[in-house]
Structure formats: structure tokens, C-alpha cells
Amino acid sequence: MNSPASLTAFSLQFFRYALVGAAAFIVDLTLLVWLAGLGMHYLAANSVAFLAANLFNFAAAHRFVFASSARTSDWRALYLVVLAISVIGLALNDLILYAATAALGLALVPAKIVATLVTLGWNFAARKRLAYY
């Protein structure tokens, strides 16, 4: 069973990750709306925006959330692990975005919010398990 101290540390880490994620979401959503407004297909725009936000998220989360808990000191190798996790997250994000807009008829922004909340859980759990301690 986890001690109260480890649960508190985990909660603080997840809170920081959510804050960094919120900032990355602003990057993501802004680019998505802008690119879609320029005429790019919404799934292509979502992919470009997600990957740009991922670069921001990696740098910010590495610095402010996970700090010295990386499984490797080589940031390039670490980013490849995070990128692999994020590519799975992107596929999940695109799938949910498509289902929410095409099947459920949601507008783009509410659908993006739903997709992002689901993807947040995947990205944090996978990074915590595979990239950081």
C-alpha cells in the first residue's frame, strides 16, 4: 500500500502535469482552430497541433514535473520514448475526435476537449511508467 507521503508526491506531480498539460492544450487548441480555419482538414490540423503541443509539453513537463526522475540522462532517448507514447496518444486523440464529430455530431472544440481529457490519462500513466520514475 502507498504511504501518505508517496500519495501526496504523486498527487502533486499529477497536478503539475495537469497544469503543464493545460498550457500545452492552449497551444494545441489554438493551432487546431487556426489551421482548420485556414482550410486544413480537421484531422490533419489536429495532428500538426498535437505534435507541436507535444514538443512544448515534453520540455515543460521534463523541467517542471518529472525533473530528475528520468529513466535516462540522454534527453534524446527520453524524447523518443515520450514521442512513441505521444504517437499512441495522437492516434487515440484522432480516433476520439473523429468519433465525437462524425458519429456524435459534436462541434470541433467540445470534441477536442473530450479527446484531450481521455488522452491526458494515457499520456501521464504511460510517461510515469515508461519514461520516468
Average pLDDT, the chain: 90
The DSSP secondary-structure symbol of 71 reads S
114, 132 in Cβ contact below 8 A?
no
**Nearest partner of 24 among 70, 106, 82, 95, judged by Cα:** 82
What is the per-residue pLDDT for 8? 86
The domain limits of the chain are 4-130
What is the per-residue pLDDT for 100? 95
132: CB partners within 8 A, 6+ apart: 66, 69, 70, 71
**What average pLDDT does range 5-25 have in this prediction?**
88
| CA 88 to mean position of chain CA atoms | 10
What is the per-residue pLDDT for 3? 74
Cell output for 72:
535516462
**Nearest partner of 53 among 132, 119, 98, judged by Cα:** 119
What is the per-residue pLDDT for 2? 66
**What average pLDDT does range 37-51 have in this prediction?**
93
pLDDT surpassing 90 at residue 36: yes
* Angle value at C-alpha 131, between 130 and 133, nearest 5 degrees: 90
45-55 pLDDT tens trace: 999 998 899 89
Return the SS3 of 70.
Answer: strand
What is the per-residue pLDDT for 41? 96
**Nearest partner of 89 among 131, 133, 123, 125, judged by Cα:** 123
